[in-house]
Structure 1
Amino acid sequence: MVRKPDLGNIEASARKRLKLPMFLCAPVLAALLCANAPPSPADQFGDLFAAVQKEHVFADGKTFADAVPKRAPDAIMADYERAAPGSSAALRAFVLDNFVVPGVNDRPLPPLREHIRALWPQLERRTPNVPPGSSAITLPAPYVVPGGRFREIYYWDSYFTMLGLVADGRDDLVEGMLEDFSSLIERFGHIPNGTRTYYLSRSQPPFFALMLDLSRATDGTIRARRLAALRKEHNYWMAGEVCATTAEACKRVVRMPDGSVLNRYWDDRDTPRDESFAEDQATAAKASTRPTGEVFRNLRAGAESGWDFSSRWLSDPHDLSTIHATDVVPVDLNALIWAMEKRIEKGCRQAGDQPCTREFGQRATARKAAVQRFLWHAKQNRFADWIAPSSRPSKVVSSASLFPLFVGMATPAQAGAMAKATRSTLVADGGLRTTTVRTGQQWDAPNGWAPLQWVAVEGLRRYGHNALAQDIAARWIGTVNCTYLETGKMLEKYDVEERLPGGGGEYPLQDGFGWTNGVTAALLDRYPTLGPAATFQGCSPADRSGTTPRP
């Protein structure tokens, strides 16, 4: 009697030998065995393959099916089964660590520094004329835009972009952008948020004074014109000085309880922002007990801060409709205006203008005293925003507290306390956190932003905390480099806790990206050992060697 083969045992044995998934039906298995055909990607990578396709990690399902494993499939699957990625982003990172994916990470990338140099011409723009009816504002000289949806020049972005332009020898663009900003102040009395008509009712963190430090212009006429523009910008920020009282702020000026003067963010309009019209209306609708104009004004003020949006401006950190940015006296804004006043004092002294020298010396002295009195939180040994209606410091711990170190208005003891607080609360694996709270807003944890890394590094260096400064720089450059190797892009913001692209906010993550390029270039010049040959924590072994780029 001829015994029939036990197909069940054969099937089980084949599954075990070939490591085939259980969902593969017996007829298909038999066909594979009979044809002696190699397993397909779905057969070979089972649960991993299914997860990648179900999560739509790649827009085209064929993309992952055509991927080539970088190492033995058994080893890849063992790692996957040991700790399956818990999110789509982590799953994508796992795939890119372990596979060469066509059209994604199969093309060699230039070193990070070379990539940045190549981006400047792509981000350069000119708008000497605009079509009738356009929202764009003309500018006399070439300039650099951030990238992505940001197709115009932005105020505070540009300082950090200029850092990279200086590092790359593009003084022509630096001088051109200073010409553009001087022109804007002369025409409108201030530098708007960006060069669109819908941005004219507000400004942004005032970095023009610090931009002038980057200029190599020696022509006396140019210098005099720029000093005049700087004084005009100061007038813009102080326009509310004549009407502010201790009971009520006026425009961008807050009179503190002792009568001293500090500044806040504001917007001259109380309507929905043109660029976020529907979003602002929806936010105001949630705040049913507040006048809509009040909500719109505060959303606009939050936009003027550049931190749009953050728990710094919210009564309830998880509810944007509780925004009260106009109630906040921000530490970063007042540090920057102090730096502006000091530079006006210096410029007037060099010009022989004694009344101006005296006035701005007194203004800077008075502002520094007010910052020390109201924005230094002695009980917690940190700088903090001031909440005007309640006359108390903000509970939000943020990277803005490092601005007094950045401009040089902190005492050595305060700098030491801030260094300690920064190390214990704000430093993450991949750089400096923006705040310590997670709200879903983009200017909160876990995000980190290029300008805040530079402010921290330079502020700490100024006061001799060099090891912490370099540590923050190394963590940040590692995050930028690893993400560049994975995506081929320079991004607007990053998740510095997971060392991934950042999230949150009103719009999708943007690439380009002006201030990330600038700060990265400047930090790599400051710390050459952080270049491509360095070891970057958080990248795959191949990436750490600097030889095998990811997408």
Structure 2
Amino acid sequence: MPGAAAQGQTPPNAQSQHAPQSPQVLFGPLFEAVQSMRIFPDGKTFVDAVPREDADAILAAWRSERPQGAEALRAFVRRHFDVPPGPDERLGLRAHIAALWPQLTRPPLTPPPGSSALPLPAAYVVPGGRFREPYYWDSYFTMLGLKADGRRDLVESMIDDFVSLIERYGHIPNGARTYYLSRSQPPFFALMLDLSEQADPAVRARRLAALRKEYAYWMAGEACAKTGKKPCARVVPMPDGSLLNRYWDDRDTPRDESFAEDRATAAKASSRPAADTYRDLRAGAESGWDFSSRWLTDPQDLATIRTAAIVPIDLNALIWAMETRIAKGCAEAADQSCQREFTRRADARKAAVDRYLWLAKESRYADWSRDDGKPTAVLSSAALYPLFVGMASPAQAKAVAATTRGKLVAPGGLRTTGTHTGQQWDAPNGWAPLQWVAVDGLGRYDEQDLARDIAGRWIKTVSVTYNETGKMLEKYDVEEQRPGGGGEYPLQDGFGWTNGVTSAILERYPTIAP
């Protein structure tokens, strides 16, 4: 008589007793109920779902609840399983973002010879699209979402990467590429440290040292600005001798990554040296607002860019935050002389901001033009940065809130500026980081209704666009609640800081419906 195998049967013990069980075996009666009731159009959907607990616990919950009907059973399954989207089904916003983090995460990097990438010792998250490396200020807003979504490991590893960059290069470059080393970006490292839960004294001491080194980078022109009484590197002496900061770049050539575009812009500005135009374009890139009417003498003409002549409110608010964090860190380390020095520096900066960048009659903070010797006429959402870092007085915050409500709130969120120029950091565009700066800053000063209103408008814009495109985008048109436009490159999806801010807002306001 031929053996069982010869007859097409499986011989006893031919399969490993340790082979994993199929969903039908694991979930038995629950599996049968789900598949029999066809609660998902595709029968493969449930069997590809990932249980959030072990099978026994899920079955016990099912027997206890006994959900009746397809809707109740579907809700039960979604509570206890991570369900993949079906052919005509899209994940909710938070689930979609959680699924994107692994796609945007990169392992530690040792670049091959000749690569423009900078080495990074720990895992990091990239924005997405054409942005294949971590960017400085983007990363703070990405970290907000990582923390909200339980990825504190990535928050810590990204901070480790930034510490490494500061230790090697003296600052955090615009992005982790060689061609970005001549500039930085809005200095959020101090606020990144606020997100950390690191308790190790040695690690905290190393990070404080890195923060002080970054501060030295931003203040490297201090001595020559005082003696020469004119701007030096990133430091600007104000008319009364106080010191504030500006965006700058250590090079005055076309940007490597925008070489042809910069040469074309400089050619249009034929009345000034090309090197000056290149420097201002580079400084505009350091600002993160590349580009905006904030930096233009003619809002409709990029060739009139004068970034280095502007003392920006957002930068000086962030450096004030840096000074206060250093003072606090030095106090914790019992370094009283350091604590006194940085408390004095923070107080001096706030006084200078209040004197030159606060316009009480217009109820707003403004950028200040060195060329004109007065604040600029551009109202932008950068005016909310002093609220975001806690630098504003209660009266200033109340006034800024009124201006924001009356002039900056659009149907789909917060306007970047009120000027339509075709530049991407102007109307009608809105950007995730500026939404968070506004929401968090207004909330800090108990302007809760306005904060929640902006948050709700923004989430609606992101949600409508996601439902139409299936994508999280770099920027949005907050007038029409659709994908944004303008700029030097096509609209990017991914997208790190939009993911981060969306998750952070929904974590803060769980009743806002996406």
TM category (shorter chain) comes to: 0.7 to 0.9
Q: How far, CA to CA, are the matches of 1:180 and 1:129 in structure 2?
A: 12
Matched residues in 2 for 1:450 and 1:106: separation?
Answer: 30
Matched residue of 2:184: which SS? Answer: coil
Paired residues of 1:185 and 1:233 also in contact (CA < 8 A): yes
1:222 aligns with 2:203: yes
Work out which of the residue numbers 116, 119, 139 in structure 1 matches 2:120: 139
Paired residue for 2:242? Answer: 260
- Root-mean-square deviation (Å): 1.0
SS in 2 for 1:352: coil
Cα distance in 2, alignment partners of residues 457 and 381 from structure 1:
18
List per-residue Cα deviations over 1:350-372 (Å, max 9, x = no partner): 00001111110100000000000
1:166 aligned to which of 147, 156, 173: 147
Structure 1 partner of 2:16: none
Pick the aligned partner of 1:328 from 289, 307, 310.
Answer: 310
- Structure 1 stretches of 4+ with a deviation exceeding 3 A read none
1:379: how far off?
2.2
Q: Is the 8 A contact 1:127 1:137 kept in 2?
A: no
Match of 2:294 in 1: 312
Answering whether residue 85 of structure 2 is matched by residue 108 of structure 1, we say no
* Equivalent position of 1:122 in the other structure: 103
Aligned partners of 1:131 and 1:454: how far apart in 2? 37
Opposite residue 470 of structure 1, the aligned amino acid is: R
1:72-119 deviation line (CA, Å, top 9, x unaligned)? xxxxxxxxxxxxxxxxxxxxxxxxxxxxxxxxx973111111000000
State the Cα distance separating 1:388 from its structure 2 match.
1.1
**In the alignment, is residue 512 of structure 1 matched against residue 511 of structure 2?**
no
- Within a 5 Å distance, the mapping from 1:493-508 to structure 2 comes to 493-508=475-490
Q: Determine the C-alpha separation between the residues in 2 that align with 1:131 and 1:462.
A: 46
Q: Does 1:474 align with 2:459?
A: no
What letter matches 1:299 in structure 2?
L
**Which of these residues, 211, 225, 233, is aligned with residue 251 of structure 1?**
233
Question: Residues 437-479 of structure 1, C-alpha deviation per residue, up to 9 Å, x if partnerless?
Answer: 0000000000000000000001101111100000000000000
Structure-to-structure mapping, 1:389-468, within 5 angstroms: 389-468=371-450
Counterpart AA for 1:193: N
Pick one of 332, 338, 343 that aligns with 1:361. Answer: 343
Structure 2 partner of 1:232 = 213
Q: Does 1:380 align with 2:362?
A: yes
Q: Following the alignment from structure 1 to structure 2, what is the Cα–Cα distance between the partners of residues 217 and 262? A: 32
Give deviations 1:220-265, integer Å, cap 9, x for gaps.
Answer: 0000000000000000000000111474200000000000010000
Per the alignment, in what secondary structure is the counterpart of residue 243 of structure 1?
Answer: helix
Q: Normalising by the residue count of structure 1, what TM-score does the alignment of the two structures yield?
A: 0.77
Q: Which amino acid aligns with 1:413?
A: A
Instruction: Report if aligned partners of 1:430, 1:499 keep a CA contact under 8 Å in 2.
Output: yes
Give the match's secondary structure for 1:262.
strand
Is it true that 1:199 corresponds to 2:180 in the alignment?
yes
Provide Cα deviations, 1:38-57, integer angstroms capped at 9, x if missing partner. Answer: xxxxxxxxxxxxxxxxxxxx
Question: Contact 1:399/1:426 (CA < 8 Å) preserved in 2?
Answer: yes
Match of 2:51 in 1: none
Question: Deviation string for 1:362-392 (max 9, x for gaps)?
Answer: 0000000000000001221110000012111
- Quote the Cα distance in structure 2 between the aligned partners of 1:247 and 1:390: 17
Amino acid at match of 2:170: G
Are the aligned partners of 1:252 and 1:266 in contact in 2 as well (CA < 8 Å)?
yes
Separation (CA, whole Å) in 1 of partners of 2:492 and 2:261? 19
Among 319, 324, 329, the alignment partner of 1:347 is 329
- Tell me the distance in 2 between the aligned counterparts of 1:185 and 1:205: 14
Match of 2:322, SS state, is: helix
Residue equivalent to 2:169: 188
For 2:358 and 2:346, how far apart are their aligned partners in 1? 17
- Structure 2 counterpart of 1:177: 158
2:348 partner letter: A
Partners in 1 of 2:88 and 2:209 — Cα distance? 51
1:490 corresponding residue in structure 2:
472
Q: Which runs of 5+ in 1 are unaligned?
A: 1-104, 533-551
User: How far off is 1:128 after superposition?
Assistant: 2.7
Letter in 2 for 1:435: T
Tell me the distance in 2 between the aligned counterparts of 1:516 and 1:220: 33
Which residue type is aligned with residue 338 of structure 1? W
Q: After superposition, give the CA deviation of every residue in 1:411-461 in whole Å (9 maximum; x if it has no partner).
A: 111111101100111000000000000000000000000000000001101
SS at match of 1:185: helix
Whole-Å separation in 2 of the counterparts to 1:111 and 1:218: 35
| 8 A Cα contact 1:207 1:336, kept in partner | yes
2:353 to 371, 380, 386: 371
- 8 A Cα contact 1:451 1:515, kept in partner: yes
SS state of the match for residue 172, structure 1? helix
SS in 2 for 1:254: strand
Amino acid at match of 2:275: G
- CA offsets 1:173-215 (integer angstroms, 9 cap, x no match): 0000000000000000000000000000000000000000000
Q: Distance in 2 between matches of 1:135 and 1:316?
A: 35
Aligned length, in residue pairs: 428
Q: What's the CA shift for 1:127?
A: 4.1
In structure 2, the residue matched to 1:10 is none
SS at the partner of 2:221?
helix
* 2:256 is the counterpart of 1:274: yes
